[in-house]
Amino acid sequence: MLKRKEGWRLPRFFSLYVMSGICFIAIILFNYVPLAGWSIAFFRYRPGLSFAQMEFVGFFYFLQVFRLPTVWNALRNTLVMAGLGLATSWLPMVFAILLNEIRSTKYKRFIQTTTTLPNFISWVLVYAIFFAMFASRDGMVNNVLRSLGLPIVNPLANRGPGQWVFQWFVGTWKGLGWSMIIYLASIAGIDQEQYEAASIDGAGRFAKMRYITLPNLAITYFTLLIISIGWILASGFDQYFMFSNPMTRERLMVLDLFIYEQGIVRHNFAFATAVGMIRTVIGLTLLTGANLFSKKIRGTSIF
């Protein structure tokens, strides 16, 4: 019998451990270590000074969050935009299902490309496009309306609640195709035998969509929904920064923009950090709550 050669060997899956270890370290470095920066919310923070040189103010800035009327305005706007997003979060899924039903591959690809493309346009350009379309004086749309003798429209200057709907529309136009991709991938992963069996049973296209595609996509949808609930107070910055002007400021001052203005523009870093902390804690609570709710009702959860 041959004797097995003894010697030092690397543990099993060593490469995988190393690779995942690097990711783990990166997460610790860039996602957890910066949390130490939250401490500035408890000081009268001035960049360039050590904590020993700064005045400790306890929860002053946290209490200030609840005193400032502008915070409540920003919270309202954020919740409205998040609400609109959540209420229509099924759109990419439905769009993916409908797109999947198109028989012509060329046409399908054309639709997919044209709807995905806006995702890659920066918000600066998006605003420029909408300005070129809706400027009161010489916007393309308004020139047409004017030539038809119709009243002009300018959603960029809408001061009413319609501004929220307009922003939702712009965001959806930009992101729908991109958001749809994950559902298309999920559809591609559905076992084709299910469709074949359904066909043998006499199921039509709508029946297959309803009883096979939709239930299979529900898992993806609810997972994304739970995650998006966690981000409910982080509605993004770029879109609102670009579209905000004196006419729309009251409707578009969302929390992210508010934090930017307070922290960066006005150098009130401690206050902005306090707002950010509160936002994170609420987001985490919502995420955990939604996850528990899903676990209880549907029996599945993301963690």
Shortest Å, Cβ 127 to other proteins: 8
Nearer Cβ to other proteins (69/202): 69
Nearer Cβ to other proteins (103/137): 137
**Phi, psi dihedral angles at 43 (to 5 degrees):** -125, 160
Which residues lie closer than 8 Å to 112 by C-beta, 6 or more apart? 99, 177, 180, 184
**Phi, psi dihedral angles at 253 (to 5 degrees):** -75, 85
| Structure tokens, 295 | 């676990």
181: nearest Cα among 246, 275, 116: 116
Shortest Å, Cβ 117 to other proteins: 24
Residue at 232: amino acid letter? I
Nearer Cβ to other proteins (70/113): 70
Nearer Cβ to other proteins (97/257): 257
Nearer Cβ to other proteins (109/266): 266
Give the Cβ contact number of residue 23 at 10 Å: 9
Length of the chain: 303
Shortest Å, Cβ 162 to other proteins: 15
Nearer Cβ to other proteins (115/268): 268
Shortest Å, Cβ 283 to other proteins: 24
DSSP run (H or E) holding 46: none
Shortest Å, Cβ 152 to other proteins: 9
Nearer Cβ to other proteins (10/148): 10
Shortest Å, Cβ 141 to other proteins: 13
Residues that bind other proteins (CB under 8 A): 9-12, 14-15, 18-19, 22, 26, 29, 44, 46-50, 53, 57, 60, 64, 67-70, 131, 135-138, 154, 156-157, 245-250, 262, 264, 266-269
Three-class SS of 161-184: CHHHHHHHHHHHHHHHHHHHHHHH
Phi-psi region of 136 (alpha: psi -120 to 50; beta: other; left: phi over 0): alpha
Shortest Å, Cβ 21 to other proteins: 9
Give the Cβ contact number of residue 272 at 10 Å: 24
